[in-house]
Structure 1
Amino acid sequence: MSPTLAGLDAQIVECRACPRLVEWRERVAVEKRAAFRDQTYWGRPVPGFGPADAAMLIVGLAPAAHGANRTGRMFTGDRSGDVLYAAMHAVGLASQPTSVHAGDGLELHGVRITAPVHCAPPGNKPTPAERDTCRTWLERELDLLAGTVRSIMVLGGFGWQALLPVLSGTGWEVPRPAPKFGHGASVTLAPSDFRRAPLSLVGCYHVSQQNTFTGRLTPAMLETVLADAARSAGLAPSRPRG
């Protein structure tokens, strides 16, 4: 494994470990969606996005077939990303409220975004075996961020369940029974490795259309959790809307 996040990202991009995911991501990149038929799809694993010294990490689920699998950047080019980056900009964690393509100038402030599965899965549903195969990348990413990361915001129950064993294996104590996912759920994990610092873990409903279109997750709710996670990381967020 690479000793740097940039090197790790380069290795992730070349991964072909899961045949079903490789076939799907590449087929989507050829067939395309009609609205994007003139674009060249990324069609590969999508690495994390954000500074290498991030104090806060956001963990999602997996790239969207016509979003990050098209653009090559996490939560870029789809409606989930539209909601997430608008909220991040509102609380001062992103340089702009939109995320259209990888060269649009977007920068994140003290935050990195990643996922437990780096390839777009059919139906947005990775299998447990695919999640476990991809676990090595997340373990290494957390190990490389361990010197600076102080909080993790997890989008959805899948990411929460995938992350807990990774945290346990990379230097933090996960309580037993394991903390349950919920919107606004929060727990501080003590380090089991002297090289680690305490880590704040915060849950948030995923920014999927099933949640944002139905009002289960509103912009104000998202901004509040983002701001709480940012403060736990030692960042200074803007005041979220009431």
Structure 2
Amino acid sequence: MTCRTIAELDAAVADCRACPRLVAWRELVAREKRAAFRDETYWGRAVPGFGPADARMLIVGLAPAAHGANRTGRMFTGDRSGDFLYAALHSVGLANQPTAVHIDDGLRLLGVRITAPVHCAPPDNKPAPDERDRCRHWLDTEFALLTPTLRAVVVLGAFGWQALLPVLADAGWIVPRPRPKFGHGARVTLMPIEPTRNPLELFGCYHVSQQNTFTGKLTPAMLEAVLSSAADAAGLPR
């Protein structure tokens, strides 16, 4: 399927049923629900990216959370990880509000888009390699559509970093050999193969999972510092 716009891409992602294990899991979770959300209707589908079609900065996570994005239908919405991320985005001037509760809560991202290498909630938050690879064409398409405006990418966690590097190489940026290692605060400038295109600034950041935020491995100040550096590299007004 050829997607000519971000809107077409988002609609196509939401209809994807390519991975039987993930489809079965996301739909099971949507039926059984968590007790706290028993009166809600879960999204229970693949979750598209979120943010403007002309974003200058992209945030790449891992996959939707079973009772967060898989419930609400929007990336990092309705769970503790999203609370942490959107509060930081608002703090540095990249979101119009600090909370993300449901898909119609009025949240807007300012020059930033959020996506993931895997668009369905996986069991135990661990997509299989073949599921990551089967989902990759969506990320390829997203980068192709964002390339005219994209200037910086923040990757949350090692899984996203490893999944993204081959996508960037195929999208027309020169990825150094050996490949850059993931680390919090890592920054790599990727030069384009075509001299008429702009370089891309790649940033590494610990994932906003509760495992990292509850233990203090990732603090609000640490996340805000990476987001601020990426926003400056992307030329975003704040």
TM-score interval for Structure 1 and Structure 2 normalised by the shorter chain: over 0.9
Question: How many Å separate the matches in 2 of 1:229 and 1:128?
Answer: 29
User: Cα deviations across residues 156-187 of structure 1 (Å, max 9, x unaligned)?
Assistant: 00000000000000110000000000000000
Tell me, what secondary structure is at the counterpart of 2:181?
Answer: coil
Query: Deviation at 1:195?
Result: 5.3
Question: What does residue 38 of structure 2 align with?
Answer: 37
Asked if structure 2 preserves the Cα contact closer than 8 Å seen for 1:147 and 1:195, the reply is no
The aligned amino acid for 2:106 is G
**Aligned counterpart, 1:240:** none
Distance 1:224 1:170 in 2: 27
Cα distance, 1:224–1:29 mapped onto 2, change above 3 Å: same
Q: Which runs of 4+ in 1 moved over 2 A?
A: 193-196
Segment of structure 1 superposing worse, 93-102 or 194-203: 194-203
* Per-residue CA distance 1:6-51 (angstroms, 9 max, x = gap): 0011111111100000000000000000000000000000000000
Q: TM-score, normalised by structure 2?
A: 0.98
Residue type of the alignment partner of 1:13: A
- For 1:22, give the aligned amino acid: V
Work out whether residues 55 and 148 of structure 1, in 8 Å CA contact, stay in contact via their aligned partners in 2: yes
Partner Cα distance (2:140, 2:194) in 1: 14
SS of residue paired to 2:154? strand
Corresponding position: 1:26 with 2:27 = yes
Q: Which whole-Å CA distance do the structure 2 matches of 1:171 and 1:147 have between them?
A: 12
8 A Cα contact 1:65 1:120, kept in partner: yes
Q: Is the 8 A contact 1:59 1:153 kept in 2?
A: yes
Supply the distance in 1 between the matched residues of 2:174 and 2:135 (Cα, whole angstroms). 22
Q: How far apart are 1:236 and its partner, in Å?
A: 3.0
User: Residues of 2 paired with 1:46 and 1:142: CA distance?
Assistant: 17
> Counterparts of 1:110-189 in structure 2 under 5 Å?
110-189=111-190
- Distance of 1:25 and 1:182 partners within structure 2: 30
Which amino acid in 1 is paired with 2:38?
R
Aligned to 2:8: 7
CA separation in 2, counterparts of 1:185 and 1:236? 23
TM-score in terms of structure 1 length: 0.97
Where in structure 2 are the equivalents of 1:77-88 lying within 5 Å? 77-88=78-89
CA contact (8 A) 1:12 1:47 kept: yes
8 Å CA contact 1:64, 1:124 repeated in 2: yes
Q: What secondary structure is seen at the aligned counterpart in 2 of 1:74?
A: coil
Structure 1 vs Structure 2 CA RMSD: 0.7
Q: Please tell me the residue identity of whatever aligns with 1:148.
A: T
The one-letter amino acid paired with 1:227 is S
| SS at structure 2 position matched to 1:190 | strand
Deviates more, 1:200-209 or 1:188-197: 188-197
Number of aligned pairs? 237
* 2:232 corresponding residue in structure 1: 231
- Does 1:57 pair with 2:49? no
Give the distance between the partners of 2:71 and 2:196, measured in 1 at CA.
38
1:171·1:196 contact (CA, 8 Å) conserved in 2? no
Gaps of 5+ in 2: none
- SS of the equivalent of 2:192 reads coil
The CA distance in 1 between the partners of 2:44 and 2:195, in whole Å, is 40
Q: Give SS of 2:142's match.
A: helix
SS at structure 2 position matched to 1:30: helix
